[in-house]
Structure 1
Amino acid sequence: MSNEKEMFKGIGVLDHKDWKNPQRVEFPPKPFHDRDVDIKIECCGVCGSDIHAASGHWGDIEKPLIVGHEIIGTVVKLGSKCENGLKLGDRVGMGAQCYSCLKCDRCLNNNESYCQHFVTTYGMNYPDGYASKGGYAEFVRVHEHFVIPIPENIPSHLAAPLMCGGNTIFSPLTRNGCGPGKKVGIMGIGGIGHMGLIFANALGAEVYAISRTSKKREDAKKLGAHHFIATKEEPDWGTKYFDTFDLIVVCASSLSDIDFNVVPKTMKIGGKIVSICVPDENEVLALKPFGLLGVSISNSHLGSVAEIKQMLKLVSEKNLKIWVETVPISVENVHKVFQRMEKGDVRYRFTFTDYDKEFSD
């Protein structure tokens, strides 16, 4: 099962102005190092980050831009000094990070996603200048540290969105005390927010789904919410839920529609508002500092490899099922999915599948 290909095939964005029309491309992989792993990709989830990056919302990124960082596949090549117990043929996953120094205090304390040498799975340069390439491709090459075994009872198409989206919400929940006796709000019931409801419930919290309208009320209840708040339909919700929440995780794709002069009123003293949103680079957060008396607000990055493993253990043991629509990968279908993602036409994640059919030539 060794992989000796000099060029990998993928589907890449060639122009941010024409981002919805990606093309088939070939590209050289990064140099293979002695602790690297080649993964033959089976499927890849579609993350909102893919849209931000492809469309140029996060600035001009080197092309071809191969997005996708929710990767599930099979180990087909191992470096000579790999030491983490991976074997050829193992089913593994990879998330939104492909590199860190692995030496600093942050890396050594399971905070590698906060390392100053952090490199994302696609569209960011390694120290040698190579621009990382993601999962809309037949293979991905990465350091073994960022390769995670997948429990047998989690289907690949459901495991894929956990690698980034699931990890991104699981981290702030567990780092901020989500569990029995806690009242936890998930604000924004979309691709990541729907997983937040599932996880917060599974962790034992009393869960509140917070959305602009009541459109997703029934879905939220099915996903594990005990309560539902429609902020546009309940203009006095900040008063009604005064002193309620221990934790609110903001999962909206933009922060401009959220009134941060209202949300802090709903928090208990010592409560935490944590955003996982990475909006347009020009967006600015506006709030009155006095509203934060006794309350903290922060932004959470990706979770660590250790947290991904912890999350997969929870999903496996409790047999949790996120909501995923599968789509065979192709140039045409990437185009369609990009269009649907821009319109928010998904309940609640996409996973690209059938990689063998697309890249078998």
Structure 2
Amino acid sequence: MVEEFHGYAAFDKKSVLKYYSYTPKPLGDEDIEVEITHCGICGSDLHTMRSDWRPTLYPAILGHEIVGNVLEIGSKVVDFKIGNRVGIGCQVYSCGNCDECNSGYEQLCAKKVFTYNDMWKDAEGVPTEYQAQGGYADKIRAHSSFVFHIPTEISSAEACPLLCAGLSTFAPLKRHNVGPKSKVGIAGIGGLGHLAIQWAAKMKAEVTAISHSSQKRDEAIKLGATHFLDILDPNDVEKFTHSQDIILSTSCSSNTDWSKYMNFIKNHGTLILIGLPEAPLQIPVFAFMRFVKVEGSLTGGRQDIKDMLTFAAKHNVRPWIQIVPMKDVNEGIKSVLNGEARYRVVLEN
């Protein structure tokens, strides 16, 4: 009898998601099958749905902020038991042996498999016939290395956004050793930014929330920001010139004035790109002459996820969420597309 998993898939760039059945990869000796209870809607899902970044492998079940219960385990799995509450993020496999894996950057492994819009690979890294499908579904399979225990302090719905938005913002702050002497700017107060502000604040940094509108000032302060910078206010622009050690940009806008952001950074400081604009960045070359660096940051590695979940549980970092039934996934997506979500939508089976 052919196994079938079920979910809501994108079939092209423009249509709504539709109910879909597919055959999952066979359960390997080191794999775990998870019955999904919750899955967050991430901006990456929407970009993938529309083939914004690269051609999508349709039909595609999206979702890489997944929480559920262990339903089945492979014969060599030792750290999980049936019924454990677990999470799966942006990745379901890496080789575990290459330089990137050994240095904690499993997301850069040449044999990696992302949670969706990817193909499972064999031991040599050659794509198989099995497409990786995501969490807008009833079940999912992943290598046990990329399945994580969820701390008891964190609810299943709140854990979902931590597995992508939380990880993507926590990992670069951890990597740059952000602490009490750090001045950190968070550009964009949305699904990513509202978590980034909390991380930096709980790391005891001096946090400046950066926005194109003062409408989110009160929310930013509530989240832990020390200062608020309205990028359209000339007084704020002057006040915060050369003031930040790091600016973490969560913006996906192709209209961003990057020269302004560079001007807010101190000499020897760093602009870290988390959001992925579709258009190439336009940065004047003289912006780099103060030894200012620009770097990108792609999600995080396995240890980053474990550290992030531990930190969130200990310091009470939580996303602001709205819960939508899984069957109403298209309504949830519409809410995100229209900018109505404050700040993350989580689907519930």
Paired residues of 1:146 and 1:305 also in contact (CA < 8 A): yes
Matches within 5 A, 1:96-111: 96-111=90-105
Partner of 1:192: 192
Partner of 1:44: 39
Alpha-carbon displacement from aligned partner over 1:249-288 (angstroms, at most 9, x marks no partner): 000122x2322222222222221110011233xx111111
Give the C-alpha shift of residue 118 in structure 1: 2.5
Paired residues of 1:42 and 1:72 also in contact (CA < 8 A): yes
Give the C-alpha shift of residue 199 in structure 1: 0.7
Partner of 1:241: 240
Paired residues of 2:91 and 2:114 also in contact (CA < 8 A): yes
* 2:68 alignment partner, SS class: strand
Separation in structure 2 between the aligned mates of residue 104 and residue 321 of structure 1, nearest angstrom: 34
Paired residues of 1:16 and 1:60 also in contact (CA < 8 A): no
Paired residues of 2:195 and 2:317 also in contact (CA < 8 A): no
Alpha-carbon displacement from aligned partner over 1:291-348 (angstroms, at most 9, x marks no partner): 1121101110011111111111111112222211111110xx2111222211111100
Structure 2 residue 155 is matched with structure 1 residue 155: yes
Structure 2 residue 23 is matched with structure 1 residue 28: yes
Partner of 1:268: 266
Partner of 1:143: 143
Supply the AA of the counterpart residue of 1:278: L
Give the C-alpha shift of residue 181 in structure 1: 1.1
Moved more, 124-133 or 308-317: 124-133
Structure 2 residue 291 is matched with structure 1 residue 292: no
Structure 2 residue 344 is matched with structure 1 residue 346: no
TM-score (norm 1): 0.92
Partner of 2:124: none
Alpha-carbon displacement from aligned partner over 1:46-89 (angstroms, at most 9, x marks no partner): 10011001122123322221000000011111111124x11111
Separation in structure 1 between the aligned mates of residue 158 and residue 33 of structure 2, nearest angstrom: 22
Matches within 5 A, 1:306-325: 306-325=303-322
Separation in structure 2 between the aligned mates of residue 108 and residue 94 of structure 1, nearest angstrom: 20
Separation in structure 2 between the aligned mates of residue 269 and residue 236 of structure 1, nearest angstrom: 21
Partner of 2:300: 303
Supply the AA of the counterpart residue of 1:262: K
Give the count of matched residue pairs.
342
Separation in structure 2 between the aligned mates of residue 289 and residue 117 of structure 1, nearest angstrom: 35
Give the C-alpha shift of residue 237 in structure 1: 4.1
| Structure 1 moving runs of 4+ over 3 Å | 235-239
Moved more, 200-209 or 122-131: 122-131
Supply the AA of the counterpart residue of 2:317: L
Ranges in structure 2 where 5+ consecutive residues have no aligned partner? 122-126
Paired residues of 1:39 and 1:140 also in contact (CA < 8 A): yes
Separation in structure 1 between the aligned mates of residue 132 and residue 4 of structure 2, nearest angstrom: 14
CA RMSD in angstroms, aligned pairs only: 1.4
TM-score (norm 2): 0.95
Paired residues of 1:45 and 1:71 also in contact (CA < 8 A): yes
Partner of 1:55: 50
Supply the AA of the counterpart residue of 1:51: L
Assess, with a 3 A threshold, how the Cα gap between structure 1 residues 238 and 230 changes in structure 2: closer, same or farther. Answer: closer
* 1:208 alignment partner, SS class: strand
Ranges in structure 1 where 5+ consecutive residues have no aligned partner? 356-361
* 1:93 alignment partner, SS class: strand
Q: 2:77 aligns with which of 82, 90, 95?
A: 82
Higher strand share: 2
Q: Percent identity over the alignment? A: 37
* 1:339 alignment partner, SS class: helix
Separation in structure 2 between the aligned mates of residue 22 and residue 271 of structure 1, nearest angstrom: 43
